[in-house]
Amino acid sequence: MTKHGRASVLFLSLIGSAAIGNAAQIYDLGTLGGRTSHASGVNSSGQVVGYSDLSPFVYHAFLYQGGTMQDLGTLGGEKSMAFAVNSAGYAVGWSLDSTIGSGRSFEYANGTMSEVAGSNRESATAINDKGEVVGTGGGLLSVGLGYLYSGGGITYIPGDSNPNSINNNTEVVGQLAGRAFYYYAGTAYSIGGLGSISSSATAINDREQIVGWFSQNSIFDHHAFLYQLGSVTALGTLNGDTDSEALAISQDGHIVGWSGDSGGRTTTAFIDYHNVMTDLNTFLPTNSGWHLDSATGITDSGLIVGNGRLNGGDVHAFLLDLSAASPSTPDPAATPEPGTWAMLLAGTAVIGLRRRIR
């Protein structure tokens, strides 16, 4: 969550520009001693969270800040992953505890990792600036039950729910019984108009813009979407690709994710604004050696995190600063899918903006 400002206005002017300009700055976040790392989220201060291997089959959550990757440890087991960080630098994620095979939601704050109170098991997936947490948990009889932790208490979201994001208005989005959903004030709403197979909402900003993916023909067929003002826009793909997923959205409405082949086996990171999708690699310095595979987080000031490969090596987390950059080559034209689709009822109440629901 970030404040709007001069840097944000500058960033808005960059996307869609075909002019040759300054290259972005890119930072290799390194690892915790192993071969790979993966970034999951970033805040306005440039703090990045994710996970990295220490050795084969052992990986820990990390917090990257000030040029240093910090190992956040675990809740007693040998593995952990961090998925989100808020403006205060509080991180949430998943960790094994000392019981074999038992996963727990965690929050990392002020140098200490602790279990999210009452969540019982599974994973914390997102945290907002108020410290409210969403995730999946509920105990042995209700594994897969989504939860909202707020004000010291747990509220469970009924059904087979997997929350992915929460904004500062306590609005939650994710996947419920294989379909994208929106949750607010105790009620979950299906997001219709998103294909006949499956869908998932991956992120929501404070302007109630929602992004994610839907499958039209098969479970391997993913297409990025933006939901706003009562309708869905299919974002399409980069030129020559068939699939895409939108993974994060800034308060200003910039969207990042990946575009690639069927099943996402080979992917390229993108940024999209006003339905213009641009390959993030076009912002890199000439001969940087990087290929950016996916982008997983973005701030209003143009900080983007994700995962890529340097000189064809192992996957590493990256931090890309677009605040003074423009594409090094004109975008070869993304492939937009058919415009804006009206929302369909999908058997339950249809999500509108919160003020429409109430």
The tens digit of pLDDT for each residue in 218-277 reads 878 899 999 998 899 999 999 989 999 999 999 999 999 999 987 768 999 999 999 999
Question: For residue 210, what is the enclosing H or E element?
Answer: strand 210-215
- Gyration radius from the chain CA atoms: 19
The pLDDT-based confidence of 165 (bands split at 50, 70, 90) is very high
pLDDT number for residue 102: 76
Please work out, in degrees rounded to the nearest 5, the angle formed at the alpha carbon of residue 302 by the alpha carbons of 299 and 305. Answer: 65
The more confidently predicted of residues 209 and 141 is 209
Q: How many residues does the chain have?
A: 358
Measured over the CA atoms of residue 97, residue 62, residue 146 and residue 178, the dihedral's sign is negative
pLDDT over 80 at 142, yes or no: no
Question: Distance (Å, rounded) from C-alpha 290 to C-alpha 312?
Answer: 8
Which are the contacts of 62, defined by CB distance < 8 A and separation ≥ 6?
32, 37, 49, 50, 51, 52, 69, 70, 71, 72, 82
Question: Distance (Å, rounded) from C-alpha 262 to C-alpha 218?
Answer: 10
Contact 103, 123 (CB under 8 A): yes
Q: Which of these, 293, 276, 294, 284, lies nearest to 333 by C-alpha position?
A: 276
| Choice among 28-32, 34-38, 108-112, 351-355 with the minimum mean pLDDT | 351-355
pLDDT over 50 at 348, yes or no: no
Please work out, in degrees rounded to the nearest 5, the angle formed at the alpha carbon of residue 114 by the alpha carbons of 108 and 117. Answer: 115
pLDDT over 80 at 345, yes or no: no
Question: Distance (Å, rounded) from C-alpha 241 to C-alpha 149?
Answer: 39
Contact 72, 111 (CB under 8 A): no
pLDDT number for residue 119: 67
Please work out, in degrees rounded to the nearest 5, the angle formed at the alpha carbon of residue 172 by the alpha carbons of 168 and 173. Answer: 130
59-107 per-position pLDDT tens digit? 999 999 999 999 999 999 999 999 999 999 999 999 998 886 778 999 9
pTM: 0.87
311-342 per-position pLDDT tens digit? 999 999 999 999 877 666 544 444 444 333 22
pLDDT number for residue 145: 86
CA dihedral 294, 39, 250, 195 (to 10 degrees): 50
Mean pLDDT of the chain: 85
Question: Distance (Å, rounded) from C-alpha 191 to C-alpha 211?
Answer: 11
pLDDT over 50 at 358, yes or no: no
